[in-house]
Copies of this chain bind each other. A is one copy, B any other.
Amino acid sequence: MGVSANGAEQRQERFDRGLEVLTRVDGEGGQRVIDALADINPELAHQVVAWGFGEIYSRHELAARERQLVTLGMLTALGGCEPQLEVHINAALNVGLTPTEITEALLHSAVYCGFPKALNATFVAKKVFGERGLLPVAAN
């Protein structure tokens, strides 16, 4: 899609702003997703960064830890989003949620999504917490 030199510059600026937020929130997990898209759908990678993070995540109306709580709720409810849950359980820890808060949110999800989705999300948390040396979680 042809864009003017000026448009290309704006596009790059938005990407750069998003990348900064993405790196702060998702750490390496976010960058790995972007890299994996390079040869298949680079425009999707651009939009995840420039729009998702540059336009939405960069807003100040919700604290970072609150955005992750909403996000954990959504990814658990959608189902089949285990790869994204892995990125965002890491993100939740990165922005200051504790393991106990995360597992409580997943326990809470059983009320609204049922046990199967709560269990699927919890086993992703188990993998992430294990990799980060955070097991066992204090009995909550």
Contacts and interface: CB of A to CB of B under 8 A. Distances in A.
B66 A107 contact: no
Interface residues of A, number: 71
Given A61-B104, A61-B140, A81 B43 contact: no
B115 A115 contact: no
A55 B44 CA distance: 11
A90 interface: no
B71 A72 contact: no
A40 B137 contact: yes
10 contacts: A39-B136, A40-B123, A40-B136, A43-B140, A44-B103, A66-B69, A71-B112, A78-B79, A80-B120, A114-B114
Complex A-B, nearest 9 residue pairs according to Cβ-Cβ distance, in ascending order:
A73-B73, A80-B80, A39-B136, A61-B104, A77-B77, A79-B80, A70-B73, A40-B126, A74-B77
